Amino acid sequence: MSVTNNWFVSERGELRLGGRVLLSDLVSRVELADGFVAIGAVSATEKSQDAWVHKIDSIAISHTWEECDQWFKVRTIIRNDSQTAVNIRSVEPFSGVLCLGWDRIFSQSETMTKKVGIFEFQGIFESHMCVALSGLNDEEGLLAGFEDLSDSFYRFSADASVRRLTPVCPREDIALAPGAELEISPLLIGAGQRMSALFSEYAKVTGQRLGARVSSETMSGWCSWYHYYGSETEDDILENARVLRASPLGERIKVIQIDEGWNRPGVDAQRVWGDWQPGGKFPMGMKRMADEIHALGFQAGLWLAPFSADPASTLVAEHPDWLIQTRNRQGGLLDAGGPAEVKGLDLTHPEVLNWLEETFNRVFYDWGFDYVKIDFLMHGVLEGNRFDPTKTTAEAFRMGMEVIRRCAGEEKFVLACGSPLGPAIGLCDAMRIGPDVGGRWYAPINLVEWPQGNCSIRAAAYPTFYRQWMHEAWWQNDPDCLLARDVSVSHEIAAFEHIRAELPTTGLGISEKDFGLTLNEAEFWVRAVWFTGGLSVLSEVWNNLPPERQLLLQQAFASHRQKVGLVNCFRDPDLAVLRSTSDRAMIGLFNLSDDSKSIQISENACNDKSYKEWLSGEIISVREGRFPPLPPRSARIWIEFPE
């Protein structure tokens, strides 16, 4: 038996923690591009208590394992013992059968959109970076995750029908030379604690591995997007900045951020991502814009999509070889990769990296911007041929991000958006962790890809809660912008008309009555943003809001600086319960459904206490963990009283 304190691998191929079997039938597997599969059963032996080596033909798979703090840590090396290079498609280390009765699973996509949440464990799930399982009451769970997320889009496959959990390292058919070794990220397995505690520890370990940038000061600001949707002019930006400076938020807002549209030749002109020069709507130029914003006492922020290029751009016309290349289906020839309307830049190309450096040095130092929101970063990881075929798409992505971080230095703020998550750790200051918000509660957009929809409060709220564990461990979470308007705005309706023409949107209404937030809905979002503690960025025209909505939004800009974690949403995925992890008890209750919810929290720390609601001031006494019923589309934040 291989013993490492509490964790050990048995000679029967079991992973045990103390006296319990967590995984059985342990297997590791390597698949090559030609279809060959090397597979072996993993176990301890009398000769080797903490290592395993298996060789099939010319492919050798080796593991070493150890207990590291609370984690069982598995290192994996693949060696090519042949006389020719082999192309590795994937590595699957330490696949095993789940032996305890976990019936809830945390699963997430690699990017901010698509699926994230805790689900009933039925069918087949795929989760990127990490996966976690628990019982209905979250009394004790299991988390498996890769430690170094910089070199591959690591994922897990979980098949409930056979109870098998399989870690996967995609290698994208990259060649391994004769005699060469490939070491993939260590695999971490933790158990014996609640899922929320395991997530917290996992985020800390992975963040430290990649040098996460964690600031004690939360960024706040104003963004042009959710009112203007790309139609803003330089006069619009400066007028909003002047109004905000004179408003009650004047001393709380740090940055005025110009969003997409500033480089278009005109309001209705064709988009030209890739040509990052001021367009016709900003005739004074971007340096003067930044100077004007600074003169009003704000930092200056600018939106770019640095890994994207429009076919109409000068960049694409002059440098077609800078684009990711794919083979078209008709002639088999190499074409620029990506959807028809946008192409992805090849971030392994030296000239692209030089161009990125020139672009961001201009933005930061010639123009004087302090903050960038870099968007649609997933275009840098489109599938296709690249200049350097030895790099995975994750490594290519990180090469581009490293240039931007190097230009930004320590003083400039980088918000990543539309981005792969894991490979960005350590290279951005903040990360959008969910879909877009919008001036409506729900928008059924492309539900196959985005199960909660998009461009709405409800869609943005789910990942705000389920990815809370990333906040202040990997970066500052960006839940997306604060909105509270109770009416439609014309630019948003026009944006939704475009969405409906481009994407599946069954049942999506886009008349004026379909927009505007009720007071419950607006208060829900303000509570969610404030309580989870991420970026507070307003995207409203201040003077267009009624006084009561202005007063509501003011509350979101006073940070509480408490650590907050997800407590429970295992029984009901539409009810999120979060609480502070510090001595000051704060409990956030969030109802994402259209039905009222009864709430009882079993934790003893919540019982026999009085609480005051953060916004309303209502005072309650809690007995047996029972809180007042929560109306549809509403939230409450209960703070222990007296404090």
Which residue, among 302, 308, 306, has the nearest Cα to 413 in the 3D structure? 302
pLDDT at residue 326 in the model: 79
Question: Using CA atoms, how far apart are residues 50 and 66, in angstroms rounded to an integer?
Answer: 7
The predicted model gives 171-178 an average pLDDT of 98
pLDDT at residue 581 in the model: 82
User: At residue 218, does pLDDT exceed 60?
Assistant: yes
- Say how many domains are in the chain: 2
Question: Using CA atoms, how far apart are residues 14 and 24, in angstroms rounded to an integer?
Answer: 4
Q: Is 34 a catalytic residue?
A: no
CATH code where residue 202 lies: 2.70.98.60
User: At residue 333, does pLDDT exceed 80?
Assistant: no
Examine residue 353 and state whether it is found in any structural domain, yes or no. Answer: no
Specify the DSSP element, H or E, that contains 106.
Answer: strand 104-108
The predicted model gives 480-505 an average pLDDT of 95
Average pLDDT, the chain: 93
Compute the half-sphere exposure of residue 220: CA atoms within 13 Å on the CB side of its CA: 21
The predicted model gives 416-424 an average pLDDT of 98
Span 374-386, pLDDT tens digits: 999 999 999 999 9
The predicted model gives 524-544 an average pLDDT of 98
Instruction: Name the least confident of 55-64, 355-364, 470-479, 538-547.
Output: 55-64
Examine residue 37 and state whether it is found in any structural domain, yes or no. Answer: yes
List CB contacts of 300: < 8 A, sequence separation 6 or more: 255, 256, 289, 290, 293, 294, 368, 369, 370, 371
> Three-state DSSP class for 74?
strand
The DSSP call for residue 555 is G
Percent of the chain with pLDDT over 90: 80
**Structure-token pair, residue 611:** 């609480």
Domain boundary among 162, 194, 209: 209
User: At residue 332, does pLDDT exceed 60?
Assistant: no
User: At residue 48, does pLDDT exceed 70?
Assistant: no
Most confident of 195-199, 210-214, 607-611: 210-214
pLDDT at residue 113 in the model: 85
Contact 281, 261 (CB under 8 A): yes
Which residue, among 162, 216, 175, has the nearest Cα to 27 in the 3D structure? 162
pLDDT at residue 177 in the model: 98
Count other C-beta atoms under 10 Å from residue 165's C-beta. Answer: 24
The predicted model gives 137-161 an average pLDDT of 94
Catalytic residue among 138, 259, 375, 478: 375
CATH code where residue 589 lies: 2.60.40.1180
Question: Using CA atoms, how far apart are residues 278 and 181, in angstroms rounded to an integer?
Answer: 48
Start-end of H helices in 519-596: 519-532, 547-554
Domain boundary among 209, 233, 259: 209
User: At residue 269, does pLDDT exceed 90?
Assistant: no
pLDDT at residue 18 in the model: 86
Examine residue 94 and state whether it is found in any structural domain, yes or no. Answer: yes
Rounded to the nearest angstrom, the gap between the alpha carbon of residue 284 and the centroid of all alpha carbons in its chain is 36
Residue 559 confidence class, pLDDT cut points 50, 70, 90:
confident
Question: Using CA atoms, how far apart are residues 430 and 98, in angstroms rounded to an integer?
Answer: 35
Question: Using CA atoms, how far apart are residues 545 and 516, in angstroms rounded to an integer?
Answer: 11
Examine residue 309 and state whether it is found in any structural domain, yes or no. Answer: no
At 32, the amino acid letter reads L
Span 121-142, pLDDT tens digits: 999 999 999 999 998 776 789 9
pLDDT at residue 483 in the model: 99
User: At residue 162, does pLDDT exceed 60?
Assistant: yes
Residue 53 confidence class, pLDDT cut points 50, 70, 90:
confident
Examine residue 494 and state whether it is found in any structural domain, yes or no. Answer: no
Q: Is 57 a catalytic residue?
A: no
Question: Using CA atoms, how far apart are residues 492 and 436, in angstroms rounded to an integer?
Answer: 12
Q: pTM score, two decimals?
A: 0.95
At 371, the amino acid letter reads Y
User: At residue 1, does pLDDT exceed 60?
Assistant: no
pLDDT at residue 23 in the model: 97
- Preceding amide of 278 cis, omega within 30: no
Examine residue 622 and state whether it is found in any structural domain, yes or no. Answer: yes
Domain boundary among 175, 192, 209: 209
User: At residue 413, does pLDDT exceed 80?
Assistant: yes
Question: Using CA atoms, how far apart are residues 246 and 249, in angstroms rounded to an integer?
Answer: 8
Measured in degrees and rounded to the nearest 5, phi and psi for residue 123 equal 85, -155
pLDDT at residue 2 in the model: 45
Residue 339 confidence class, pLDDT cut points 50, 70, 90:
low
Please compute Rg for the chain using Cα positions: 25
What's the domain range around 174? 2-209
Span 270-323, pLDDT tens digits: 889 999 999 999 999 999 999 999 999 999 999 999 999 999 999 999 999 999
Examine residue 261 and state whether it is found in any structural domain, yes or no. Answer: no
pLDDT at residue 268 in the model: 74
The DSSP call for residue 590 is E
Q: Which residues are bridge partners to 190 per DSSP? A: 143
Catalytic residue among 151, 436, 478, 480: 436
- Looking up tokens 């699963």, which residue turns up? 107
Examine residue 501 and state whether it is found in any structural domain, yes or no. Answer: no
> Three-state DSSP class for 438?
coil
**Structure-token pair, residue 139:** 């009394």
End-to-end CA distance of the chain: 52
Start-end of H helices in 296-431: 314-318, 350-361, 393-408
